[in-house]
Structure 1
Amino acid sequence: MSLQEPPVPATMREVMSMFATGVIVLTVGGEHPHGMTANAFSSVSLDPAQVLCCVAHSAVMHKSISSERRFAISIMAADQERHARYFADKSRPLGASQFEPFDWHPGPRTGALLLSGALAWIECVLVDAHDSGDHSIFVGSVINSLRGTGADGLIFFGGGFRPGAAPPSPA
């Protein structure tokens, strides 16, 4: 396309599908544990350590984070596409039974469910929430983080899941 040609109209979903992102499963514990696949996740600050995740107002997770005020993130490994698809499926069971197909353990600081085999895990306490459009931006203060032994991550690009190779080790 030259600069003189008008751009081709596209939906926001089409445009954003061109931005590769990591894939996480966001979880809460408590009386009503819940999990949700997400890719709207980012580090906010290193000092103090904070992360954010964006959740639709209509999602079960929105109410879960708002009421529990603690959450965890499992950063998906390249071989965990099944996990990502499952927690993105709105027809899965709710409550604790939704975690039955997978190995997990409760986070030591939040009780939120951490999925086994993930690349890394982060536990947070909710410190801020901002409504923006049809989503809320939840900011969590990191109270625990752990790194797994895996190397390759799962990414979302072009509307689909893809393995993302680990960067080469420094020489």
Structure 2
Amino acid sequence: MTATAAGLGTGRQFRLAAGRFPSGVTVVTTVADGEPHGTTVNAFTTVSLSPLMILVVLGATSRLHDKIHRSGTFTATVLGGHQEDDARWFADSARPSGLTGFAGRAWRPATFSGAPVLTEGIAYFDCAVAAAYPAGDHTVFIGAVEDFERISDRPALLFADSRLTAATP
């Protein structure tokens, strides 16, 4: 479907078109009020090599949004192709909040922020929030990378056309 001069179509149509572009999958975490919190995010990219910076984009109504604003830190764990269950778990709005939401998941606190790093992931980036920009119904969080690690050489988990799949090596 093409956009017409009369209008750009619906949000659903936009998502279907944008979904043609495959993206990696991350779990973004923080610690707020003494408890770990996290959610699945596919809007992630590197921003700068000097200084080291990444960005993640969260819906303004997501449970994690205000917690990152309060904590001023976040960690993004890049998921491997073997972590579809983790991606679905952290995307589930019915998932318990706080420490209970991490039960049964292998994780450790990140060095800088203390936010959970999923240890079965393939890389992580531990960040201080350098900037936050409202963007429609989302916020773009720019993270100054304080620590990072390539954890594994396994293929990444990808999201395209509303499906999760492992990248082929």
- What is the TM-score normalised by the length of structure 1? 0.90
2:17 corresponds to 1:22: no
Deviation (angstroms), 1:117: 1.1
2:150 corresponds to 1:147: yes
Tell me how many residue pairs correspond in the alignment. Answer: 161
Secondary structure of 1:140 counterpart: strand
1:74 maps to amino acid: T
CA contact (8 A) 1:105 1:115 kept: yes
CA contact (8 A) 1:118 1:150 kept: no
Secondary structure of 1:29 counterpart: strand
Which of residues 145, 162, 166 in structure 1 aligns to 2:165?
162
Correspondences of 1:17-96 after superposition (within 5 Å): 17-30=19-32, 31-96=34-99
Gaps of 5+ in 2: 4-8
Provide the rounded CA distance (Å) in 2 between the counterparts of 1:149 and 1:123: 17
Deviation (angstroms), 1:29: 1.9
2:2 corresponds to 1:7: yes
Deviation (angstroms), 1:109: 1.2
CA contact (8 A) 1:77 1:150 kept: no
Structure-2 residue corresponding to 1:103: 106
Which runs of 4 or more aligned residues in structure 1 lie more than 2 Å from their structure 2 counterparts after TM superposition?
Answer: 6-10
Percentage of matched positions with identical amino acids: 30
Provide the rounded CA distance (Å) in 2 between the counterparts of 1:134 and 1:160: 23
1:51 maps to amino acid: I
Secondary structure of 1:7 counterpart: coil
RMSD: 1.4
CA contact (8 A) 1:151 1:165 kept: no
Q: What per-residue deviation string (whole Å, max 9, x for no partner) do you get for residues 43-91 of structure 1?
A: 1111111001111110111011000001101100000000000000000
Gaps of 5+ in 1: 1-5, 167-171
Provide the rounded CA distance (Å) in 2 between the counterparts of 1:38 and 1:27: 10
2:20 maps to amino acid: M
